[in-house]
Amino acid sequence: MTFSIPFDNSYARMPARFYTRIDPKPVAAPRLIRFNRALAADLGITPGDDDEMARAFSGNAVPEGAEPLAQAYAGHQFGGFSPQLGDGRANLLGEAVANGKRFDIQLKGSGPTPYSRMGDGRAWLGPVLREYVLSEAMHALGIPTSRALAAVTTGEPVWREQGALPGAVLTRVAASHIRVGTFQFFAARRDVEGLKALYDYTVARHYPDASDAADLLQAVVERQARLVAQWMAVGFIHGVMNTDNTTLSGETIDYGPCAFMDSYHPDTVYSSIDAHGRYAYSSQPDVIVWNMAQLATALVPLMPDAEVAVERFTRIVHAMPALIREEWLTLFRRKIGLGTAQDGDEALIGDLLTRMAENRADFTNTFRALATGGPARDQFLNPAAFDEWETAWRTRLKAEEDPQARMRAANPAFIPRNHRVEQMIAAAVEGDFAPFNRLLEVLSNPYDDQPDAADLARPPAPSEVVKQTFCGT
Ligand code: AMP
Ligand code: MG
């Protein structure tokens, strides 16, 4: 059987101003690090031999049926609007259609494009493996996300602050790469025809039931509300919630300086470029509402009456915080074993989180210990702070049936801990991919107890703590 991807490209049929057709730039010596066979099967891909796939997933050989292009978009970056962004280091090869589903297949780190601005269009091995592990972990946690299909090294150095680093390319799969910033791109140019074409495309691809732009907005708001609540429930901090990194599909996308928290604190920020904590853990629900307001603004020209549009859109966006709160509460109820709703639940959860923050409790391990009956109190600097809460919690639990099973399904034992990710990258740079492969194996079943992987569940020792994460640029 020969290597093949069932391409059926629709974005390449959009008007020319939506993208620039450009082939990936070949690299010196592509070598396959990993290929995601399970995902490939879902996508209807027939695998080839390693060399063939290394050539395809580095961009050295454009696979049959691909029509590579770089997408144009705009976006608010840290609140400031850039009317012209776009894939500066990515090529959309096309869309694979299988089992009635359509997925973008995109190379990331595959060379400069007209949207590269000052960048080199490349990625080094660290961010490529980071995105591979984090996006696959996110998927295994049950959270909508782009996926990783393949990673290759290029055999070429990439120059970054640290010096020369091994270059790599990630093949990313997503329901689509349509961003809030894609709508902003056309709205900023008052290109209503382009906006309409993008709207029709998005509705057909993601929201076939939407009958107007208000419907589309409502549907995206619902998916994003749920997504951000899910991030909160696993302690995930995206790190760069710019509107160009917010999808219409409701999938997590653009893993840059993102991170999962170790010890819990609502103000946690890891990203080196987020100096003011705009995208701190606890700010994410506010930021996504702001991003949806930007989407709403871009959608106004699609409605026949601007005044009516603004009135309807405002109502939808204003209702979003309550929607997030509801999703959040459902998820956090589950995390403490509650399947029913009572009035005091939110206060009970809030009380636990306050005590965790004050006592630097490990987010993942505290909740997991509730599920397994482990010593949750040991996670707290002052264990008595937990004991007081536990009394109230045990009383509330009496109204619940099998809370343990509910908590086991809601509270992962394993997350991609920053220090393990950094150690994995350091090993890979030295040519040892065993930690990368092991992380992927363990994180593919995050809700299972895996006694052999206890080391991956441990929080970092003081000397291992990662204080900052960096984007791949
Ligand atoms: P991000 O912060 O990853 O969302 O990227 C923001 C913008 O910068 C996007 O338009 C990227 O395509 C572009 N960009 C990031 N890194 C590079 C790079 N190494 N070369 C060219 N463009 C880049
Ligand atoms: Mg981005």
pLDDT along the chain (473 residues), means of 10: 94 98 98 98 98 98 98 97 98 96 98 96 98 98 98 98 96 98 98 98 98 98 99 98 98 97 96 94 98 98 98 98 98 98 98 98 98 96 98 98 97 98 98 98 98 97 90 65
For ligand 1, atom 11: residue with the closest CA: 88
Structure tokens, 216: 């589309």
Catalytic residue among 87, 104, 244, 254: 244
Q: Which atom of ligand 1 is nearest to the CA of 472?
A: 16
Q: How far is the CA of 203 from the centre of ligand 2 (A)?
A: 22
Domain final residue pick, 119, 140, 174: 174
Task: Give domain status of residue 138, yes or no.
Answer: yes
* Residue among 366, 388, 385 nearest 459 (CA): 366
pLDDT of residue 398: 97
Grouping H, G, I as helix, E, B as strand and the rest as coil, residue 158 is: strand
Task: Give domain status of residue 230, yes or no.
Answer: no
Ligand 1 binding residues, C-beta < 6 A: 85-89, 115-116, 119-122, 240, 244-245, 254, 256, 471, 473
Is residue 257 within 8 A of residue 471, CB to CB? The reply is yes
Task: Give domain status of residue 134, yes or no.
Answer: yes
pLDDT of residue 467: 86
User: What's the residue count for the chain?
Assistant: 473
Ligand closest to Cα of 179 equals: 2
Which residues, 6+ apart, have CB-to-CB distance to 462 below 8 Å? none
pLDDT of residue 473: 57
Domain final residue pick, 390, 410, 430: 410
For ligand 1, atom 13: residue with the closest CA: 88
Q: How many domains does the chain fold into?
A: 2
Task: Give domain status of residue 160, yes or no.
Answer: yes
Q: Residue 203: enclosing H or E segment and its boundaries?
A: helix 192-206
Which among 81, 116, 274 is the best mutation to test ligand 1's pocket, defined by most ligand atoms within 8 Å of the CB?
116
pTM score over 0.95: yes
Q: Please list the helix, strand and coil fractions of the chain in percent, rounded to the nearest 5, in that order.
A: 45, 20, 35
Rounded Cα distance, 110 and 168, in Å: 8
Q: How far is the CA of 115 from the centre of ligand 1 (A)?
A: 9
Ligand closest to Cα of 71 equals: 1
Is residue 421 within 8 A of residue 225, CB to CB? The reply is no
Task: Give domain status of residue 202, yes or no.
Answer: no
Q: How far is the CA of 382 from the centre of ligand 1 (A)?
A: 44
For ligand 1, atom 15: residue with the closest CA: 473
Domain final residue pick, 354, 376, 410: 410
Task: Give domain status of residue 151, yes or no.
Answer: yes
- Residue 246 burial (CB < 10 Å; 0-12/13-18/19+)? buried
Q: How far is the CA of 256 from the centre of ligand 2 (A)?
A: 8
Task: Give domain status of residue 95, yes or no.
Answer: yes
Q: Which atom of ligand 1 is nearest to the CA of 256?
A: 3
Q: Among positive and negative, which fits the CA dihedral 188, 189, 190, 195?
A: negative
Task: Give domain status of residue 26, yes or no.
Answer: yes
Domain hosting residue 405, numbered range: 330-410
**Could you confirm whether 362 is annotated as catalytic?**
no
Is residue 43 within 8 A of residue 103, CB to CB? The reply is yes
